Structure 1
């Protein structure tokens, strides 16, 4: 009798174990299926294009839109869904990433006549990787919240090369409880995903980073130009700087002097990369933020003036490292 009871008990335990295992397997399968549901992507420019491609590489079906149809063509050829408007993207996907040039573009894509909020689903996660005014990010977050969705700002650093390699750094602002969900997507495109705080803090971190980048690029260009004028070989000077206390990203990874490094815009007539007008725009955002907070940024202000001047003198579409070429031309006037 005891043996029979023992067998019955074992059978009951085995049955319960199978139920738990089945439930666990179903949950894992459900999560796996959810993770591969379509992801919307709006803005397929120099940065957005490789970012969206990395999502595809990680198995995410991408539902895309760009104001320029030719930017969508290669995605359409690869089988991705291409929509006619940001609103149509929102209708097909409940996770959307936007990568746009400026604050007005972001406002239009989210709140315009054919914007995301026209058809956004409740519970959707909207991640904006544009670099825009932190105040605009906060306003967009309020508008998104009214629609029952979640907005996070997640601007990037690293440039086109890092976007292609999936090594971007994302600076994320928003509700902390939603960070894990955002990180799942962002790690497909970046090697560093950092939570900064409430909405707008991601933009704040990006603006500070780009202001420092602009200042260091101008400084690197000036130092390299002076050294060349003093008779130093530019490759030798770059080597010395990169072994010394003057080393920075602008000197050792993105050198502005043609012929010093391969695979950077200065080796390709300053084509590609991060445009001068975009740097001027970001420095303008830093200037606005500094004015609003009464924070002195004398070097940031000078850098803003220089990149605005470059934009007006034919450098608008060239990479921001073309400040070296600009300085050389200015001294010959």
Structure 2
């Protein structure tokens, strides 16, 4: 065959490749649009869940929602979400459902209780739990879901309320590769990073390790800020120095616990909103349980757990966990 014929044949193949690629993109786009047309369920509309659900609405996903707080559902309902009266009612209408709940007990109740998700879940449904709970509970829910012909994955989040609001969360996903791929587009509409960690429960494992480190660094940042201020340093200047030095961390740079250093964070709003101290104490309890089971020494994690438990019992339970700074300045503590 002549050189010209070879080139012509290759050119034809190239054109055919472009045509097939265009068809593939069209099918992919069509599937995505079809996916967005079907209802998605969302249960748990607290400080994090409310923002996450709103971002799904913004990205074009129609929602049916449930929360025990009527105030939590009101604004989302005004923005177009359907409201259900029970978790079972949500599950009966969807084949993809996200839950964002405070603790293991809440997850167990919402999934297995009277009028719970498993009482009406549809076969083939994908159940995504973004709560931070004991990995063994995630594994238990996955087994129960399998018995109902559904798939359960754990996908806890990191980033805080501002990241939830701005769609910049990190999702740590535990489940099969297939389930991860099915969930990825939905999770990407609420976050910036979606990481597959392994089998069910590994997402929770990653999250409790992250939160243990976060709690330790927040207490350390609070101690450093408090000491520097007592030594006569201006708070914003001290924070600037820390953040250009080796002490820099997320707690100092993005979520500084000292009031007035950063705008738009709980410390500058009387520690309202954000991630509650009681929830941090709960997560540290999960980390300590895991440390005991795996015989992994975590002395600083244990101390942080004790501090947040004391804070929880000292009037800080509903304040953001960065109120460790305020706790250190408490006159009772220093008397």
Which stretch shifts more, 100-109 or 221-230?
A: 221-230
CA 236–148 in structure 1, closer or farther in 2 if over 3 Å, else same: same
Gaps of 5+ in 2: 1-18
* Partner residue, 2:193: 192
Q: Calculate the TM-score normalised by the size of structure 2.
A: 0.91
Matched, 1:293 2:279: no
Q: CA deviation at 1:331?
A: 4.5
- 1:14 corresponding residue in structure 2: none
Query: SS at 2:92's partner residue?
Result: helix
**Structure 2 CA distance for partners of 1:114 and 1:232, relative to 1, 3 Å:** same
* 1:35 Cα offset (Å): 3.3
Q: Are residue 222 (structure 1) and residue 233 (structure 2) matched?
A: no
Corresponding residue for residue 165 of structure 2: 164
Structure 2 residue 211 is the aligned partner of structure 1 residue 210: yes
Match of 2:321 in 1: 320
For residue 263 of structure 2, what is the aligned residue in structure 1? 262
- Structure 2: distance between partners of 1:331 and 1:317: 19
Cα distance change of structure 1 residues 73 and 270 upon mapping to structure 2, 3 Å threshold: same
Runs of 4+ in 1 over 4 A off after TM superposition: 21-28
Aligned CA distance change for structure 1 residues 24 and 166 (closer, same or farther; 3 Å): closer
Match of 1:150 in 2: 151
* Offset, 1:315: 0.4
CA shift for structure 1 position 71: 1.3
Q: Are residue 104 (structure 1) and residue 108 (structure 2) matched?
A: no
Shift of the 30–256 alpha-carbon distance from structure 1 to 2, 3 Å rule, reads: closer
Q: Work out the CA distance in 1 between the residues paired with 2:256 and 2:126.
A: 38
Q: What per-residue deviation string (whole Å, max 9, x for no partner) do you get for residues 36-81 of structure 1?
A: 3110000011100010000000100001000112211112222311
Equivalent residue, structure 2, for 1:38: 39
**Could you say what the CA RMSD is over the residues aligned between the two structures, in angstroms?**
1.8
Q: SS where residue 132 of structure 1 aligns?
A: coil
Aligned to 2:57: 56
| SS of residue in 2 equivalent to 1:92 | coil
Count of aligned pairs = 315
SS at 2:122's partner residue?
A: coil
String of CA shifts for 1:293-319, please: whole Å, max 9, x gaps.
111110000000000000000001101
Q: Name the CA distance, whole Å, in 1 between partners of 2:37 and 2:62.
A: 7
Separation (CA, whole Å) in 1 of partners of 2:23 and 2:294: 57
Q: CA deviation at 1:24?
A: 8.9
Cα displacement (A) at 1:22: 9.0
* Offset from partner CA, 1:259-300 (integer Å, 9 cap, x none): 211111111111111100000000000011111111111000
The equivalent of 1:246 in structure 2 is 247
Task: Give the Cα separation in 1 of the matches to 2:277 and 2:24.
Answer: 55
Query: Structure 1: 5+ residue runs without aligned partners?
Result: 1-17
Cα distance 1:36–1:235, how it changes in 2: closer, same or farther (>3 A)?
Answer: same
Provide Cα deviations, 1:69-105, integer angstroms capped at 9, x if missing partner: 2211112222311001111101111000000000000
Q: Distance in 2 between matches of 1:322 and 1:27?
A: 47
* Deviation digits for residues 232-276 of structure 1 (CA, Å, limit 9, x no counterpart): 111111111111000000001111111211111111111111100
Other structure's SS at 1:263 match: coil
**CA 195–313 in structure 1, closer or farther in 2 if over 3 Å, else same:** same
Secondary structure at the counterpart of residue 151 of structure 1: strand
Tell me how far apart the structure 2 counterparts of residues 24 and 71 of structure 1 sit (CA, whole Å): 38
